[in-house]
Chains A and B, each alone.
Chain A
Amino acid sequence: MKALQSGQQEALLAIWDRHATLVRGLLRRSLGPWGDVEDLVQEVFLAFHRSAHDLRDPAMLRAYLVGITTRKAISELRRRRVRSFLRITEDGVLPEAEDPGVVEDDGPEALRRLYQLLEGCSAADRMAFVLRHVEGLQLEEVARALGVSVATAKRQLGRVHARVVALARRDPVLSGYVTTEEGIS
């Protein structure tokens, strides 16, 4: 960390070697596995490089990176929402380009529907859901990543979870993936 804070590039590359998969994975699971997130991965590490001096405790490196990645993902989700709002018009303006992803053509329908459903949530709520239920982070970690209090994160998670489950129950495909205490509903 000291090497990084003194501006040594090799130190950042070493951190890349250890954490690039984490960052890329979090971005892909947050934004959807169909798009190319390499530009964002680069931006996360460059942002980290610029702000590394703020990190006092090296043990918090992972959480710090998760925080930067979360903010980047939220910002990207908002940007995409604005763009998607503007792009499809009657005169046939082209949709924004999406880079190729790794998932094969026509991937699992449930996966598509889940991300479609998440499109209806706010960017911050969506990130809260992904961090808690997909990444498996603890509530405190989710709050730290989102930059909110634990109480706020708790409210946010309760709200988005209820919404996702309710929408999933109404979806003909996703309803098969909603479980109760007793089993699949």
Chain B
Amino acid sequence: MNEPPATERLNEALLDTVRRAGDGTLPPARERIARERLALALTRPAAPTPFRLALVAFAALALLVPLLRSRQLTYEIRDASVAPEKGYVRPASSAPATIDFSDGTSVRVLADSTVRIAQADLFGAALVQEGGSALYSVRRRAASSWRVAAGPYVIKVTGTRFLVRWTPASREFSTDLLEGTVVIEGPGAPGGVQLFAGQRLRANPSGQITIEPLSTPPDTRPPLASAAPSLSVAPSIPAEPAASSPQAPAPPPAHSGTPRAASPEPRPVGRAPGQELGALLDGIELEGAEAFAARSSAAVVMEAADAARLGRRAALARSLFAALRSRHPGSREAAVAAFLLGRELDERSPGQAIALYRAYLAETGGGPFAQEARGRLLAAVARASGPEAARPLAEEYLARHPSGAHAPLARALLGAHGE
């Protein structure tokens, strides 16, 4: 059951070189860190598989749909003396009708007026005032969008109270803004005109717009009759006290004053495997990397930094590498820290990374990371200062490492300059 006999093969000397180079043993300290890292990973919940993710998404959707449905805007019509047609509210001449929306918004449709509910969804409603007068009290909500169309005019509403009059026959339009702000678009204001509380916008049949102050500003809380005396609906629209107004800001939640940062993130406690290393790193974090480096040998700081790096605690690893360089200058570990710190900063701070790679190469004159340091230096300089600046580095890289990982980049840089 063997493959066909080969007359030629690679000799054992080469294959032995591969076996030796790819030896799987680690120095004891690194092996211990790797084992601790596995133990630490076992204490964490497993990363969700695609199947689990799909399951979670499905469950979330199943919960979300009823929630969205519950937040869907619904409405009821009160006091309509005649049964409304679908979407239409047309009070009889004797009394107004009220549309109560589930989000707290209400629309008072006055006698002999017509309002059509064109759309009502999660985010608000679009109403068409086909004629007559109506008072709108729109509840302010995040991301809500209300529109009221009256003839050629459209009122964009966030949260406010306003009275709209529209007479189709004479094409006269007016809006009295009692609270908040609205933007009105229409003939004479194609880009929209903003109206503030206490103002009235009038538009005549030719589309000419005038804005004037209401005779009694809304913050004096007048009865509606004083703002629109001809409507005679004041008794049915009480002026709400500020505290109970739907527009009044909600009181802050009871815990809103507690800053999150004040309570440190709880860490798991117990004797689970892997916590020894985690606890060590926690301790260094509390003590501060500089203080830890000041009282520890360079080798110990390097080991801790390595553990932080392999344990995906990048910020702590960076602090430890920096502390290693400041507290143990001239040591072999400090030189290696320059390279590793440079690599950590490669993406976010190429200038610093370049300086650190240069420092590593200057301090060691070679060493196990020299090839990668030269390659990364070359790439960082090309990125930060352009191909021209990187050209000498590319030449040096190719001379030293013709088949290195960055050789294609070096050749590309030299090739781009006519070589």
Return the chain B residue nearest A153 by Cβ: B3
Given A45-B38, A95-B379, A104-B368, verify A177-B405 contact (CB < 8 Å).
no
**Chain B 96-109 per-residue mask, 1 if CB under 8 angstroms from chain A, else 0:** 00000000000000
Which chain A residues lie closer than 8 Å to B382 at the CB level? Answer: 92
**Is B15 on the interface with A (CB-CB < 8 A)?**
yes
Q: Are A24 and B26 interface neighbours, CB within 8 A?
A: yes
Please determine whether A110 and B14 come into contact, CB atoms closer than 8 angstroms: yes
Interface size class of A (residues with CB under 8 A): 35 or more
A144 at interface (Cβ–Cβ under 8 A)? no
Whether B8 contacts A29 by the Cβ 8 Å rule is: no
Complex contact B409–A114 (CB within 8 A): no
A50 at the interface (CB under 8 A from B): yes
Q: Are A22 and B21 in contact (CB under 8 A)?
A: no
Which residues of chain B (376-412) have a CB below 8 Å from chain A?
Answer: 376, 379-380, 382-383, 387, 390, 400-401, 403, 405-406, 408-409, 412
Of the candidates B10, B272, B346, B401, which one forms a contact with A168 in the assembled complex, judged by CB atoms under 8 Å apart? B10
Q: Is the CB of B1 within 8 A of A178?
A: no
> Is A72 in contact with chain B by the CB < 8 A criterion?
no
- Whether A12 and B379, one on each chain, are in contact in the complex, defined by CB atoms closer than 8 angstroms, is no
The residue that B24 contacts in the complex, of A13, A20, A180, with Cβ under 8 A, is A20
B368 touches A33 (CB 8 A): no
**List of A residues within 8 angstroms of B46 by Cβ:** 46, 50
Q: Please tell me if A150 contacts chain B, counting CB pairs below 8 Å.
A: yes
Is the Cβ of A180 less than 8 Å from the Cβ of B7? yes
Contact status B38-A13, CB under 8 Å: yes
With an 8 A cutoff between CB atoms, is A54 at the interface? Answer: no
Candidates A9, A34, A164; contact of B273 at CB < 8 Å: A9
Indicate whether B206 reaches chain A with its CB closer than 8 angstroms: no
Tally of chain B residues near chain A (CB < 8 A) = 63
Q: Is B25 an interface residue (CB 8 A)?
A: yes
Q: Could you tell me the dominant secondary structure of chain B's interface residues?
A: helix
Residues of B within 8 A of A180 (CB): 7-8
In the assembled complex, A42 has its CB within 8 A of some CB on chain B: yes
Q: Which residue of A lies closest to B374 (CB)?
A: A105
State which of B4, B10, B41 has its C-beta within 8 Å of the C-beta of A46. Answer: B41
Q: When the two chains form their complex, are residues B3 and A154 in contact, meaning their CB atoms are under 8 A apart?
A: yes
Q: Are B9 and A178 in contact (CB under 8 A)?
A: yes
Given known A42-B37, A46-B38, A165-B6, contact A178–B11 (CB-CB < 8 A): yes
Q: Tell me the interface secondary structure of chain A in the complex.
A: helix
Q: Is B35 an interface residue, CB under 8 A from the partner?
A: yes
Instruction: For A181, list chain B residues within 8 Å (CB).
Output: 7
The answer to the question of B85 belonging to the interface, with a C-beta cut-off of 8 Å to chain A, is no
- Which residue from chain B places its CB closest to the CB of A183 in the assembled complex? B11
> In the assembled complex, which residues on chain A have CB atoms less than 8 Å from the CB atom of B376?
97
A179 / chain B contacts, CB cutoff of 8 Å? 8-11
**B163 interfacial contact with A, CB 8 Å:** no
The answer to whether B408 touches A105 (Cβ under 8 A) is no
Cα A71 to Cα B412 in complex, Å, equals: 33
CB distance from B11 to the nearest CB of A (A): 4
Residues of A contacting B346 with CB < 8 Å?
Answer: 94, 97
In the assembled complex, how far is the CB of residue A54 from the closest CB belonging to chain B, in whole angstroms? 15
CB distance from A75 to the nearest CB of B (A): 15
In the bound complex, residues from chain A placing their C-beta under 8 Å from that of B375 are: 95
Give the Cβ gap from A105 to chain B, nearest Cβ, in Å.
Answer: 5
B390 to chain A, nearest CB (A): 8
Q: Is B50 an interface residue (CB 8 A)?
A: no
Interface residue A157 (Cβ < 8 Å from any Cβ of B): yes
Residue numbers in B under 8 Å from A134 (CB-CB): 15, 18-19, 22
Q: Annotate B42-73 by CB proximity to A: 1 below 8 A, 0 otherwise.
A: 11001000000000000000000000000000
Give which listed residue, A12, A21, A90, contacts B412 with CB less than 8 A.
A90
**In the complex with contacts A33-B22, A139-B1, A140-B1, A95-B405 CB distance below 8 A:** yes
CB-CB nearest in chain A for B375: A95
Residues of B within 8 A of A94 (CB): 346, 379-380, 383, 409
A150 touching B1, Cβ below 8 Å: yes
A113 to B14, CA, bound (A): 11
Contact at A114–B18, with CB atoms within 8 Å? Answer: yes
How far apart are the CA atoms of A24 and B339 in the complex, in Å?
Answer: 24
Q: Which parts of A94-153 form the interface with B (CB within 8 Å)? A: 94-95, 97-98, 100-108, 110-114, 116, 132-134, 139-140, 150
Measured in the bound complex, the distance between the Cα atoms of B406 and A179 in whole Å is: 32
Q: Is B369 interfacial (CB-CB < 8 Å)?
A: yes
Whether A88 is near chain B, meaning CB under 8 Å from some CB there, is yes
Complex partner residue of A33 from B21, B37, B272, B273, CB under 8 angstroms:
B21
Give Cα distance in the complex from A106 to B366, angstroms.
Answer: 10
Give the residue of B13, B37, B368, B413 whose beta carbon is less than 8 angstroms from that of A100.
B368
Taking Cβ atoms with an 8 Å cutoff, the residues of A that contact B are 9-10, 12-13, 16-17, 20-30, 33-34, 38, 41-42, 45-46, 49-50, 88, 90, 92, 94-95, 97-98, 100-108, 110-114, 116, 132-134, 139-140, 150, 154, 157-158, 161-162, 164-165, 168-169, 174, 177-181, 184-185
A sample of 25 inter-chain contacts (CB < 8 A) reads A10-B273, A28-B21, A29-B21, A30-B22, A42-B41, A46-B42, A92-B379, A92-B413, A95-B375, A95-B408, A100-B369, A104-B368, A105-B368, A106-B400, A108-B17, A110-B14, A111-B17, A116-B403, A133-B9, A133-B10, A134-B22, A162-B6, A178-B9, A180-B8, A185-B8
